[in-house]
Amino acid sequence: MIRINDLSKEYETKKGSVIGVDRVNLTINEGEVFGIVGYSGAGKSSLLRCINLLERPTSGKIEVNGLDLTKLRGEQLRKARLKIGMIFQHFYLISQKTVAENIAFALKAADTPKEKIATRVLELLEMVGLTDKKDVYPAQLSGGQKQRVGIARALANNPSVLLCDEATSALDPNTTLSILRLLKKINRELNITIVLITHEMNVVKEICDRMAVMQDGRVVEEGMVYDIFSNPQADLTKEFISSVVSFEVPQSILDQVTGRIVKVLFKGNVAGEGVISDMVQNFDVRGNFLHGSIEYIQEVPLGLFLMEIQGQPENITRAITYMEGRGAQVEVVRSGH
């Protein structure tokens, strides 16, 4: 478990003090994948680097598995950091060393007995699917393969926590998906706690259990990923989610719509039910879909629809009440002409 208590980080610049992280409090549970989302400059990278004390916080406390890292120095801190792996956006592999040598470097730095290094390297290469690249140099690898080497290196000393600093930002969508699936596999099989920072909500939607949204050094929203996607509170969170789930309908289409326009949200198993078709049949109204999708978050469906409902006002009201009774959240976007 990671506990971040009242954490702040200030930087001194020529123009004076700048606050990078501003009194953040977070609890990240053992074995979960936790996403930290924000635009550039939000403070998420600074916060991540404070977790393993690559950046020493100005104030506050960080506990990892019950150990207060802010009280550690020298050899004690070095040993604690061995249990916190880190992967980066730009890989940082040693170009003059082979894939195997890059991974072995992390083991040697941790004083792993020489006779155990070769075996451990092979185990790690198998875990990340690169056994055939053992003697290849980084320049001969694709971006996704380089990141797999970075993941293997980060896992070399059996960490309990893995920090991911924009780990997929430099990769194409297909490669990003394969890396995220590898991270989720590692999380499930090794029970490693993963803290992942990103500016991409698709990344969070794919593998995170819980998330926090940062702005100007502060956490503006925190919770289960599914709950935040289905009911975002902060304006910034809504902005991020709109990049994944958009209800934009061309104005030329809206101009032709005469009925009541409603936004309908179905959570969980309700998303698979024929609520809308039942509503149309039972209440003498007509439904016209303007936009719709079903997202799967942690394998649980989230149905989002924008639709026009036509009919007598009292029938439309009864139809909306019926959908709400069946578990839908309904918001009237426009009352109709």
Q: Which of 279, 278, 308, 303 is nearest to 292 (CA)?
A: 303
Low-confidence ranges of the chain (pLDDT < 50): none
| Domain segments of the chain as ranges | 2-242, 251-334
Q: Which CATH code for domain 2-242?
A: 3.40.50.300
- In angstroms, rounded to a whole number, what is the distance separating the alpha carbons of residues 315 and 216? 47
pLDDT score recorded for residue 122: 94
Model pLDDT, residue 293: 83
How far is residue 92 from each of residues 13, 58, 283, measured CA to CA in Å?
Answer: 27, 27, 62
pLDDT of residue 273: 62
In this structure, is the dihedral angle defined by the CA atoms of residues 274, 275, 279 and 280, taken in order, positive or negative?
negative
Please tell me the predicted confidence (pLDDT) of residue 82.
87
241/128 Cα distance (integer angstroms): 31
pLDDT at 213: 96
Query: For position 109, what pLDDT does the model report?
Result: 85
| pTM of the predicted protein model | 0.88
According to DSSP, the residues that pair with 308 across neighbouring strands are: 261, 288
Backbone angles phi, psi at 195, to 5 degrees: -115, 120
CA pair distance 6, 22, nearest whole angstrom: 8
In sequence order, what are the residues at sequence separation of 6 or more whose Cβ sits closer than 8 angstroms to the Cβ of residue 334?
Answer: 254, 257, 260, 261
Contact 288, 307 (CB under 8 A): yes
Q: Do domains 2-242 and 251-334 have the same CATH topology?
A: no
Angle at the Cα of 297 (from 295 to 300), degrees rounded to 5? 90
Q: How far apart are CA 87 and CA 152, in angstroms?
A: 9
- What length does the chain have? 337
- For the domain made up of 251-334, give the CATH fold: Alpha-Beta Plaits (3.30.70)
Q: Take residue 97 and report the two structure tokens written for it.
A: 């060393």
272-290: per-residue pLDDT in tens?
568 888 888 888 898 888 8
